[in-house]
Amino acid sequence: MAIIQPTMSKPAVTLFTGLIVAAAFAWAGGLLWFASTIPTAVEDGETRTDAIVVLTGGSERIETGLALLSRGLADRLFVSGVGEQVKPSDILPRASTVPVELRDNITVGTAASDTPGNAVETAVWARTAGVHSIRLVTAAYHMRRSLLEFHTAMPDVAIVPHAVFPANVKTDWWRWPGTASLIAREYSKYVVTWVVQKVAIQEISGGSASAIPRHLVAR
């Protein structure tokens, strides 16, 4: 007995193809927007906060956090996502410029393995430490998604972004396959995070768009 395979009608195929093409154009347009809005400089390098928070996973981040602590921009430094084998004493050799009285104020978090984990781990520490404002240190290309996660995990904490600019991440990203791939992946992660959070908030608020916090709307 012959098995009849279902086939899509020509209008359905055309519609499906059109949707795929439209989605591809939308993603590409979003990628261009995302790349064009990556910070190229630190906007606020002077505001003092309760703590400095460094997200590990890239070059220059810990060194920048230590330098900011040395400058007196906070009295505490929290390094999130260092892994279970790292202790504050492992970071201290890199902290020669940090005043001696502040070296005991360096805390490391070992639980986080990704950006959502960084946000949750930091939120728990901030509540325990009585922290109400932080300076967030991470790579420029990673900042937008980090702020999305951190604002959600700790909505009552003021956050001052402090981007670092790794030499291997090129500003003319389209000319460098490695940088282009990195930014494309980060943009895709940002979109997924934004959609998941928006859906969750709409479910909580009964679908009311006005109940969505402004920091969850892509800017």
Among 8, 35, 2, 85, smallest CA distance to 186 is for 35
Class (C level, CATH) for 51-164: alpha beta
Percent of the chain past pLDDT 70, that is, above it, reads 85
Sign of CA dihedral 57, 195, 162, 99: negative
Q: What whole-number distance in Å separates Cα of residue 86 and Cα of residue 15? A: 54
- Its pTM surpasses 0.75: yes
DSSP-H helix ranges across 52-209: 61-70, 88-91, 115-129, 140-153, 177-204
Checking if the pLDDT of 212 tops 90, the result is: no
pLDDT score of 213: 43
Helices 177-204 and 140-153: angle between axes, nearest 10 degrees: 20
Q: List pLDDT tens digits, range 29-86.
A: 999 999 999 999 999 999 999 999 999 888 789 999 999 999 999 999 999 988 766 6
**Residue 212 tokens, joined:** 């969505």
Q: What residues does each domain of the chain span?
A: 51-164, 173-216
Q: List pLDDT tens digits, range 77-119.
A: 999 988 766 667 677 677 777 888 888 899 999 889 999 999 9
Q: Is 85 helix (H, G, I), strand (E, B) or coil?
A: coil
Strands (E) located in 8-109: 51-55, 77-80, 106-109
Cβ distance 31 to 179 under 8 Å?
no
